[in-house]
A and B are shown apart, each in its own frame.
Chain A
Amino acid sequence: GDSVTQMEGPVTLSEEAFLTINCTYTATGYPSLFWYVQYPGEGLQLLLKATKADDKGSNKGFEATYRKETTSFHLEKGSVQVSDSAVYFCALSSGSARQLTFGSGTQLTVLP
């Protein structure tokens, strides 16, 4: 079945550091890929998405590129802020019902 593997956390960075959170997937067909962010006590919010190979999703300074050859969708940001502290989930959508399959999440803490 479909699966998503994220780098294990927690990740702690200083403000303005470079961020990479690795995500790889296994899926049949051609999935759509997503990054969701969850702030404490809140539901998940869509951060960015890509629907086909080589697409780059971007939002709020975050970027991720759909790499079919390496089955990866790594999240990057050039300069993190304290307000980026949250849990980040990589997810894919595939199959006839287009359901989301989530990774286990990566906790990011950014220190001032």
Chain B
Amino acid sequence: EAGVAQSPRYKIIEKRQSVAFWCNPISGHATLYWYQQILGQGPKLLIQFQNNGVVDDSQLPKDRFSAERLKGVDSTLKIQPAKLEDSAVYLCASSLTDRGGQPQHFGDGTRLSIL
């Protein structure tokens, strides 16, 4: 089966600019996650979708970050305006359901560098 697809792989922008990331989960996976992984740390959950509804966005900096999952398939994550501390790898993951024990499948991520 095709894996989780993310684009772009790399993005370099200046602070205060805006940027968007795209994710296409594995076909049939109802649950989609966006994580932020700062260099040297484990991934931190930003937002979780179940189909096209938000399950948890408690750790999403809503003053600058937004995400949507229209039609319950693809998702986009946007940052506007970007800050230096947003430099990180943004990972998208999906799982069949959100039931316990269900593994999450990760994309290769988008590496964002803020100048």
List the interface of chain A (C-beta within 8 A of B).
Answer: 4, 32, 34, 36, 41-46, 49, 51, 89, 91, 93-94, 97-100, 102-105
Task: Tell me if B81 is interfacial: C-beta within 8 Å of chain A.
Answer: no
Q: How many B residues touch the partner, as a band?
A: 20 to 34
Asked whether, in the complex, the Cβ of B48 is within 8 Å of the Cβ of A32, the reply is no
Docked complex: B32-85 residues within 8 A CB-CB of A: 33, 40-45, 48, 55-56
Task: Tell me if B106 is interfacial: C-beta within 8 Å of chain A.
Answer: yes
Asked whether, in the complex, the Cβ of A51 is within 8 Å of the Cβ of B101, the reply is yes
How many angstroms from the CA of A42 to the CA of B109 in the assembled complex? Answer: 7
- B interface: dominant SS: loop
Chain B: minimal CB distance from A84 (Å): 19
- A interface: dominant SS: strand
Task: Tell me if B15 is interfacial: C-beta within 8 Å of chain A.
Answer: no
- 13 A-B pairs besides A43-B4, A43-B93, A49-B103 with CB distance below 8 A are A32-B100, A32-B101, A43-B91, A46-B104, A49-B101, A89-B42, A97-B55, A98-B99, A100-B33, A100-B43, A102-B43, A104-B41, A104-B42
Please name all residues of chain B whose beta carbon is closer than 8 Å to the beta carbon of A42 when the two chains form the complex: 108-109
Asked whether, in the complex, the Cβ of A44 is within 8 Å of the Cβ of B91, the reply is yes
Please name all residues of chain A whose beta carbon is closer than 8 Å to the beta carbon of B42 when the two chains form the complex: 4, 89, 91, 102-105
Please name all residues of chain A whose beta carbon is closer than 8 Å to the beta carbon of B44 when the two chains form the complex: 102
Give 23 pairs: A residue, B residue, CB < 8 Å, sorted on A. A32-B100, A34-B103, A36-B106, A43-B6, A43-B106, A43-B107, A43-B109, A44-B43, A46-B104, A89-B43, A93-B100, A98-B100, A99-B33, A99-B45, A99-B56, A100-B33, A100-B104, A102-B42, A102-B43, A102-B44, A103-B42, A104-B40, A105-B42
